[in-house]
Structures are given as C-alpha cells and as structure tokens.
A and B are shown apart, each in its own frame.
Chain A
Amino acid sequence: MKKLNAIPMAMLAYLSIALPAYAQEAASSLDARVNEAFSNATGWFVNFIFMSIPGTNFPWIVMWLVIGASIFTIYFAAVQFRFFGHAISLVKGDYSDPNDAGEVSHFQALATALSGTVGLGNIAGVAVAVGIGGPGATFWMILAGLLGMASKFTECTLGVKYRNEYPDGTVSGGPMYYISKGFDELGLPGGKILAVLFSVFCILGALGGGNMFQANQAHAQIVQITGDFPGWITGLLFAAVVFAVIVGGIKSIAKVTEKIVPFMGLLYVGAAIIVLVVNYDMIGWAFSQIFVGAFTGLGVAGGLVGALIQGFKRAAFSNEAGVGSAAIAHSAVKTKEPITEGFVSLLEPLIDTVVICTMTALVIIISQQLIIDQATGNYMLNEAGTAIATVDGNGGVALTSAAFGSAIGWFPFVLAIAVILFAFSTMISWSYYGLKAWTYLFGEGKTTELVFKIIFCIFIVIGAAASLGPVIDFSDAAIFAMAVVNIFCLYFLMKVVKAELNSYSARLKSGEIKRFSH
C-alpha cells in the first residue's frame, strides 16, 4: 500500500515542477482542442435528450420527470406529507432495534446519499437557473423538489427491497437490481435489457454530472482566487487525489471529507441565513419576485416557460429524484422494512432542493446581482440574450460567490473551499455509483474495477479543461437519460411499493410496529 501511495505523490511533485513552464504555451490550445472534441462527440446525445416537444420549446425530458413525480405523488396519496413526521422519527432512530447497533443506520444512509447530491448543483446549478430563468425559476424548483420527494420514496424503497446481499456480508443495490429482479418477479419481459441500459447511462452520468461538471466548476472557483490558469492542471490535481482514494485505497482522505462536508453544508446554510437576516426587509420583495417571475418570467429569455424549464431542470439535477442514483446509496441500510428507507429518502429532495437551493436563490436575488431595468421592472438580458445581465457579468458558481461576497466580504474564500470539498465528495460518491453500474455490466473483479476507476480519473482532467457549456449540457443529458429508463420502470414496479406501503401503514396503525425505548 505504501508504494501505491508514493505514485500519486511523485506525480504531484513532478507536476508542480514541470507544469508551469509548459502551461503557458500548450495550455490554451489544449483546452480548446479538448473542448471542441468533446462537444463534437456528445452533441447528438445532448440534442436528443433536450429535444423539444414538437410545436413548443419545452424539452420532453423535463415533462417526463415532472409528470413522473406528479404520478407518484398522486398514486401514493401525497406520501411525502403524510409520512413526513414518521420519516423524522426513523432518522432519529426511534424505530431502530438496539440489537442492530453497529449496522448502517437510517441517518447514515441518508447522510451518505445527501453528500452525493448536496454540492455544486445547489451552489452553481441554482445560479445558472436563476441567471437564465430569473427568480421565478425558484418557484418551479421548489415545486419540483416537493414532487420529487415521491419519486425518491419510490426508487429507494425498491432499492432496499431488491438489493443483493452477498455471502461475505456486503450489499449492492440500485435500479439495475430492482429493474431486473422486479421485472422477473412480476413476470414482465425486458428487465435485463432495461437494467443494462440504465447501467450504461449511470456510467455516463457518473462521468458527466458526477465528475466533469464537478471538476469544471471547482476549477472555475479556484481561478476566481488564483487568477487564470489552464483547467487541465486543476484536473490533474483532482485526478491524483481521487486516484489516491479510489485506487490507492487511502480511505482516510475520503473519511476526512465525509466529516468536513456536512459542516460545510451547515456553514453554507448558516451564511445564507445571515445574509437573509441582514437583509430581512428584502425577503418579502424576494418572494414577490419569485412568485411574479414564476408566472410572468419578468422578461427572461423564454418568459414563463423559460423560468419553468430552468427551475425544473435544476431541481432534478440537484436532488436527482427519479434518476435512480440515490437508490444505490440508500440500499445499504439495515432494516427489515424496505419502505422505511423510502420514507427516510423523501427527506433528501426537501433538504437539498427546498431548503439549500432556495437559500442560494434567495441570496442571489437579494444581493441584486441580477440587473433590473428600472423603467419596466423586468430583468435586463445580456448582449447575447441568453441570460440575465449581472453586475460583474458572472454566471454559475461565480454568480453565487459574488452574491454572498456582496454581503459577507470574506465568504467567497470559504465558498471556494466548500465548492472544492463538495466537488470532491460528489466525485467520490459518483465513482461508487458508476462503479456499481460498471460491475453490474462487466462483473465484479479487481481488474474490471480498476479499468473503470482509471477512466473515471481521466474524465476529471477532461472536465476541468472543457468550457462550461458543453460540459453542463452533457452532464445534464447523461443524468436525465438515467431517469428515462428509471422512471419508465418505476411505473411498472410502483404497485410493489404500494403493497409495502399498505402493509406497513396497517401494522403501524395496529401497533405491531413499535418504537423502541432508548
């Protein structure tokens, strides 16, 4: 193990000496070439996923997610509200058998899944949504977050129910397992093919949103502080550290991150609350902008529909409800009742989207980084007409940073550290999701696993070097493609969840399922 650790360290040492010299000449052309090759290679896929419904400019995929979430909400009679209190009790451990102490608790499964979703989507993604769709996007984002709780409930219940428990005591779960096993159980054809299709998209999603988007935005954030330098340098550094963790097995790095990230999350929300408290007189105005913007667009590109698309898109990208990734993370929990993890998982979109994303949006709106045309009260568009003009011409994570910075001068530095850590922990989570899909396709084994891990590290470099546009498009497309397969299959499998729900709530009512006194 010692020798393995030495390799990335040596790489780092070499890079820090050799790179600056190369960097100046080679870098800009390399970045440009990576960028061009990347958008050429992925354009068709992105176009298909974001194709508009004929006669409108509404991407079919966004409808797909929202209709799915709405159907689950109706089918389970608003489970996200009826069982909200019960979900909290489960997380607190009120229903955990003391004899299971030492196993994965509901809290741990939720925290692990959250560390995969809370991250750049909440900071950079929301800035993109509000920057393009205006404050009104926030309204649609919150709505999508609330509906998405039902999607998450459905997929995570199935994730636990159909997980594989191996003789050596490890578990594997996720959509690929519930699709193939669930379809077999119901006597439906095609389960295996759909599971394979999901796995392919999951690998692409892991390399896209779970990797390149993270590397890209982490680089953007570092550049803010250090000044401009080529992205592939950041990419190599990140790749070296991720390599050390997932290949070198240096778990201590991952462990430290897992412990710091929740505090970063609390710090972020805390800072947002401070900004809101300081500007308490503007909170009412911010909400009125959100409501008015939701139904009029307030002059943004695409109007009402533009705001709606951005809001829905960012919600889905941030909380991943319906995508299926969380089902992989939640499936390790120790419980006799799969549905309990479903209840717990419905808290995820709430925390991620309804709380954290909304905080970001409110800070951006209140900081008045988005320029309003005083004559009309509408937002002014930038020169290209694609997004709202901002005070410093910023977009994405830089916009969030500027918004926080306008209220708390030193916060951009904390934010930069938070972004880097969030990016890192999301990469570690997605390397696991991607790996599970990869081993589902190619079988478990040291060599096959190593191949995936190396590919994963290479994509970090590509992601950091490419410009934001193509990366963000491909990341969204790959993650949404997972949702195409997953939600389609959930429609067939939701009756299994319904049976679990009916049985569980009857036993909860009769007192058969009891709280444990601790």
Chain B
Amino acid sequence: MKLVIGLDGQSSGEKALDFAKSMAANADSCELIVVYVIEWSPFSFQTAEENAERHKRREEEISIAMERVVDPAVSTLKEAGLNARAIVRHGDVADTIDDIAHAEGASQIIIARSSAGGLTTRLFGSSTASLVMHARVPVTVVV
C-alpha cells in the first residue's frame, strides 16, 4: 500500500500524520510519502531582480520546507518503524498533490481539513476542497 500525506505546515497536519500512521500500522507493508507544496504559479508577475534571484530563492524555500515541516514528519514516521520519504514541490497545492499521488501510483491521499477560513476561503476556495473534488486518487480528509 502506498499513501500520500499532504502537509500544510499547520498543526492540523499532525492529525493527518497520526491517521496515516494508524493506517500503516494495520497494513502488511506500507510506503508513506510526505508531500509539502509551496504555493507558486508560473503565471505570476515578477520584477527582473526577483527573476535573477529566483533559482536561489527556490532552493532556500525548499530547504526551509524540508527543515521545518517535512523532515520532522518523516523522522517521526521512521521512528515508528514505518517506511517514509519526502517530496517538496512548487505549484498549485491541490493539483500538485494529485499529480504526485497519480504518478506514484498511491492508493490514497490523506490530508487535514482546510485550516484557512473566513473570507479567503469564500473567495478562492480551499486547497482541500478542490483536491477532494478533482483528485484522481481516493482522498481522506482528517478532521
């Protein structure tokens, strides 16, 4: 069994992690892929200076995400004796998690309930909601 766990860097991600852990414990063999997506669009507007420094910033963003969110999660899973690895990507959160799950042949995506609330969600929708609606792989939303 292969599970993709989508983290958003919020405390609610812990619940998704715990849920995945208990699922994996009940399975014979299970591979856990911890995914963190840095929100990014190839169609945004940037200054020339930002462009010149983009590669450097991207590396920095990835290493910060690894250090603060993904690595701690992977090591807790490993400490529990599970087979886990990490992927950090830039892109649209919902699309990217779905793409990874699809490409990896995962049997399920596990995410936490959207942590953003209020006006932002009303205007733009949440990544969780759009993942649930469009994913090509079954999605479990942990509350």
Contacts and interface: CB of A to CB of B under 8 A. Distances in A.
Given A101-B40, A101-B90, A103-B54, A111 B59 contact: no
Interface residues of A, number: 38
A332 B48 contact: yes
Interface string A238-258: 000000000000010011001
B91 A254 contact: no
Contacts of B56: 168-170
Contacts of B58: 102-103
Contacts of B45: 108, 111-112, 115, 258-259, 261-262
B44 interface: yes
Nearest to A261: B45
Contacts of B99: 98, 518
Given A102-B40, A102-B61, A108 B47 contact: no
B42 interface: yes
Contact of A429 (B48, B59, B61, B62): B48
A254 B90 contact: no
Interface string A96-109: 10100111111111
Interface in B20-34: none
Contacts of A93: 42
B105 to A, nearest CB: 16
A330 B89 CA distance: 24
A116 B48 contact: yes
Interface in A79-125: 93, 96, 98, 101-109, 111-112, 115-116
A117 to B, nearest CB: 12
Interface in B37-71: 38, 40, 42-56, 58-59, 61-62
B54 A332 contact: yes
Q: Which secondary structure dominates where chain A touches chain B?
A: helix
A328 to B, nearest CB: 7
Contacts of A329: 48, 51
B130 to A, nearest CB: 16
A161 interface: no
B40 A432 contact: no
A97 to B, nearest CB: 11
Nearest to B56: A169
Contact of B47 (A169, A258, A262, A334): A258
Contacts of A168: 56
B61 A332 contact: no
A328 B48 contact: yes
A108 B40 contact: no
A171 interface: yes
B51 A104 contact: yes
The list of the 9 closest CB pairs from A to B, nearest first, reads: A102-B90, A169-B56, A105-B42, A332-B51, A101-B90, A102-B58, A432-B48, A258-B45, A169-B55
25 contacts: A101-B42, A102-B54, A102-B90, A102-B91, A103-B54, A103-B58, A104-B51, A105-B43, A108-B43, A112-B48, A115-B45, A168-B56, A169-B55, A170-B56, A172-B52, A251-B47, A254-B47, A255-B47, A258-B45, A329-B48, A329-B51, A332-B51, A332-B54, A333-B51, A432-B47
